[in-house]
Structure 1
Amino acid sequence: MIEFSDLYKEIQKQGIYVFQYNVGKNKSVTIEMNKKYGIFIDMSAFSSLGESKRALAHEIGHCATGATHKACSPLDLISQHEYRANRWAAEHFLPFKELQQAMRMGYSEPWQLAEYFNISEKAVRWALRYYTESRGLSFNTES
């Protein structure tokens, strides 16, 4: 189960600054300056706690991987950085083995896994696609 305390432990570990701030349509952004990272997030803009956890984990992923870019960067670079942040978040907060174990316990639908891990269904679906399509792993085997 993913708790805010898990996210904030990682934030502390990495020395990230977090600011509650309305950042407009994006709801959350990460800024890097002189190798220091700040996450600006409007927690009131999210429709659920699970979705706010997904966003925060994603932003931590930007910091952990250094995947930040200028606002005017080409779309392919932005896409690569978003992928790296999502990959980091999945590997750290929805690890393959933990997802596999939850499935063995009977949580087979993405919405069930989202409830079990206490994170958004969007995050679970992204992690499932990442592990099966990008990593070639199967949840039906003893990996």
Structure 2
Amino acid sequence: MFNYEQLLEQAQSWNVFVYEEDTKGTTKGLYVDSHILIDKKMSMIEKSCILAEELGHHHTTFGNISNQNKLPNKKQELRAREWGYNLLFPLERLIEAQKEGIRNRFELAEYLNVTEQFLEDALKRYKEKYGLYKQVGKHTICFEPLGVIENFEEVMPK
């Protein structure tokens, strides 16, 4: 999928400007009016995960949502994170990972080029959204326990 350099190129194509600085404190990324600040102390994989979410803010949020005590702001934050999950970890990648012989979550995070925390957060969100499983073509993706089942025939959506 995307590595950090490719995400930077994608951001540029969307007229989003990305800056790396030492962001003292706990802030890893921040989006404001087509400008993204990324903490330069992170690894390239961490930067990719944070940049994907911040690009999600560019595409899905509006206004100042920094106060996460407000429900509409929480919803916008979740929407931006989900956008980032879909960018770096679309469900079809689980099917590819199984075909490649990936055996555990550590290997899966490495295969996807994301942090283990990003992977866990994405899987949690997918489970909240779809339930215990999701049909993707002729495959059933199970979120608990994590796995992919290949069906003999493609199941047609209702």
Place the TM-score, normalised by the shorter chain, in its bin: 0.7 to 0.9
1:105/1:70 Cα in 2 relative to 1: closer, same or farther (>3 Å)? Answer: closer
Q: What does residue 15 of structure 2 align with?
A: 15
Equivalenced residues, count = 137
Q: What does residue 61 of structure 1 align with?
A: 56
Sequence identity percentage = 26
Q: What does residue 94 of structure 1 align with?
A: 89
Counterpart CA distance in 2 for 1:79 and 1:131 is 17
1:70/1:115 Cα in 2 relative to 1: closer, same or farther (>3 Å)? Answer: closer
Structure 1 residue matching 2:35: 3-state secondary structure: strand
Q: Which amino acid aligns with 1:17?
A: F
Structure 1 residue matching 2:149: 3-state secondary structure: coil
Higher relative contact order (CA 8 A, sep 6+): 1
The answer on whether the counterparts of 1:59 and 1:85 sit within 8 Å (CA) in structure 2 is yes
Query: TM-score of the superposition, structure 2-length normalised?
Result: 0.74
Offset of 1:125 from its aligned partner? 1.4
Q: Which runs of 5+ in 1 are unaligned?
A: none
Q: How does 1:71-110 map to 2 (within 5 A)?
A: 71-72=66-67, 74-110=69-105
Tell me, yes or no, if structure 1 residue 40 matches structure 2 residue 48. Answer: no
The answer on whether the counterparts of 1:54 and 1:119 sit within 8 Å (CA) in structure 2 is yes
Q: Which runs of 5+ in 2 are unaligned?
A: 135-139, 142-147
Q: CA RMSD in A?
A: 2.2
Counterpart CA distance in 1 for 2:23 and 2:63 is 16
Tell me, yes or no, if structure 1 residue 30 matches structure 2 residue 38. Answer: no
Q: Which has the larger radius of gyration?
A: 2
Q: Which has more helix, going by share of residues?
A: 1
Structure 1 residue matching 2:54: 3-state secondary structure: helix
**Per-residue displacement from partner, 1:40-80 (whole Å, max 9, x unpaired)?**
11221x2x322221111111111111255243464423321
